[in-house]
Amino acid sequence: MTEKPMARLHNYSEIYKCNFDVEITADMIFDRHNVEEFILFSGDSDFEYLIKRLKNVGKKVVIYSSRKTISWELKLSASKYIYIEDNKSIFKRE
């Protein structure tokens, strides 16, 4: 597992961001032989190429994202996509 510190966005006291796309992609590609189905929590279209490559080698890729942030590229390329809003009982802040 790879860890990376989160950075607080300027002018926001409770919004954090972590640029982790490259690390996620590398982990998924290097571990693809041991995994049949990948679950990705993102709506970022930057992952479209990764998803297509994984599917080309027979892997399933499920995307969890919100309706507001999922890109149309991920909708078209993923094996399945699930809206987090439709699963509020599972994904809730405490």
Instruction: Specify if 19 maps to a domain.
Output: yes
pLDDT in tens, 24-82: 777 777 777 888 999 999 999 989 998 999 999 999 999 999 999 999 999 999 999 99
Query: What pLDDT band is residue 5 in, cutting at 50, 70 and 90?
Result: low
How many Å separate Cα 22 from the centre of its chain?
12
Position 13 scores a pLDDT of 59
Q: Assess if residue 66 is contained within a domain.
A: yes
**Is residue 15 pLDDT above 70, yes or no?**
no
Instruction: Check which CATH number belongs to the domain holding 33 and give it.
Output: 3.40.50.1010
Residue 93 located in a structural domain:
no
Q: What domain range includes position 53?
A: 7-87
Number of domains in the chain: 1
The residues with which 7 forms a beta bridge, in sequence order, are 17
Q: Does a structural domain hold residue 92?
A: no
The pLDDT assigned to 92 comes to 72
Tell which wins on pLDDT, 10 or 63.
Answer: 63
* The pLDDT value given to residue 12: 57
Residue 56 maps to a domain: yes
Task: Give a yes or no: residue 83 inside a domain.
Answer: yes
* pLDDT average, residue stretch 11-20: 60
For residue 48, being part of any structural domain is answered with yes
The answer as to whether 25 is a domain residue is yes
Triad 74, 35, 72: Cα angle to 5° = 0
pLDDT at 18: 60
Task: Assess contact for 47 and 21: CB atoms under 8 A.
Answer: yes
Q: Classify the phi-psi angles of 49: left when phi > 0, otherwise alpha if psi is within -120 to 50, otherwise beta.
A: alpha
